[in-house]
Amino acid sequence: MDCAARGKRGNKYLQRAWRRHGEANFEFQVVELVRPSRLLATEQSWLDKTNCIDPCIGFNILPRALSRASAAVQPRKGFFDPRGRPVTIKNLHRFCRQNQLTFTAMLQLYHGRSKLKSHKGWTHKNSVRQRDYVKTYEGFIKPNGRSAGKITNLAAFSRKHGLTAAHMIAVAHRRIVSHRGWTHRDGKNRLMPKRYTGFIRPDGRRTVIINLAGFCRENGLSIVHMHNLKSGIRRIHKGWTWNPE
């Protein structure tokens, strides 16, 4: 278990438990001695008896006892790429590395044990949570004010246009007003900027300020100090004062 101690185990569930509970809470022992030719069969027998592929019981990821070589090249059918095309993957480890996918997530989709609907647009026919291929969004408005029409596969669309998919979803669900200029027809309404009429310039002139944050950025002022002027905490900030009408 030297790899676990160094935080380099391939099994993330075991590694997470090792970090949380510490080495002192783990015990390892030999359960059976067998000939090399019987190794895989015996391992499979223990997998079946203990049901240790259940995450509530054990840490095994694969339901079958396989050698490293056979596990690596085992063909895995039933995957669908982000465009909905069926794909058979021969070497899942290598495929995940080449396509920036998470091996554990893809394996969970394959075995149907995950609550995931998909992983980075990839789905599998064994998924326990079936849904339409990808969700279609309507109602997004571009920064130029034009409708974006229907958007299928928001994650891919966001990557293509330099957007963050989570922020776009937040816009659609009325949690935020906009994201990089993009809004939604049913989205959250933008609040009207507050009007400040009591600020006095260093030369003594009264100034009406709308959008205090933008004004402070443009004039090299601190918005915190300007609010403190208004609240009476400060008397002056770079020559600016506050005198309500």
Domains and CATH numbers, the chain: 1-30 (no CATH), 32-65 (no CATH), 70-124 (1.10.10.10), 136-184 (no CATH), 195-242 (1.10.10.10)
Of residues 54 and 241, more confidently modeled: 241
Average pLDDT of the chain to the nearest whole number: 83
Mind listing the pLDDT tens digit for each residue in 97-144? 899 998 888 888 888 766 677 888 888 888 766 555 567 899 999 988
Distance between CA atoms of residues 78 and 101, nearest Å: 16
Contact 181, 162 (CB under 8 A): no
pLDDT for position 66: 67
Distance between CA atoms of residues 112 and 44, nearest Å: 20
Mind listing the pLDDT tens digit for each residue in 178-192? 888 899 998 877 767
Q: What is the pTM of this model?
A: 0.36
